[in-house]
Amino acid sequence: MPRTEPSTNPPDLCAKAVEPLIVLILLPILIGVACEMFFRDTVRASAVATIASPTVVYVCLATLDPGGTWNWLATLLVSPLAIALALAAVMVCFGRAHVRKRPRRNGA
């Protein structure tokens, strides 16, 4: 019986497969959390996250794709996802930071 070699994925291929996840999902979430932690004001944090997330996505796409197959129009098409994730992260951080604790009731 012939032995089959296990498929080996070069590390370069694995890194290329994870780049879209990092750039389009994790990076906008981190931007939203960072904006909320830095500004501590939901209005300012959401405004900065709205501007910063597509800008950072464009810079990452331009850096990671020097061949130019992604351009500003492609960034414009995926920017609503980045903006939505950044704003959702701001709102989740705002909700967690400002949750009121109920007073404990002793007794029945």
- Among 32-36, 57-61, 90-94, the range with the most confident prediction by mean pLDDT is 32-36
52: pLDDT strictly greater than 90: yes
Distance, in Å, from the CA atom of 89 to the CA atom of 30, rounded to the nearest integer, reads 8
The more confidently predicted of residues 10 and 35 is: 35
Query: How does DSSP classify residue 93?
Result: H
Q: Between the CA of residue 67 and those of 22, 26, 35, 61, 82, what are the distances in Å?
A: 20, 24, 32, 10, 23
The reported pTM is 0.72
Q: What tokens appear for 68 in the block?
A: 């130019």
Q: 11 exposed, middle or buried (CB, 10 Å; 0-12, 13-18, 19+)?
A: exposed
The more confidently predicted of residues 20 and 34 is: 34
Percentage above 90 pLDDT, the chain: 39
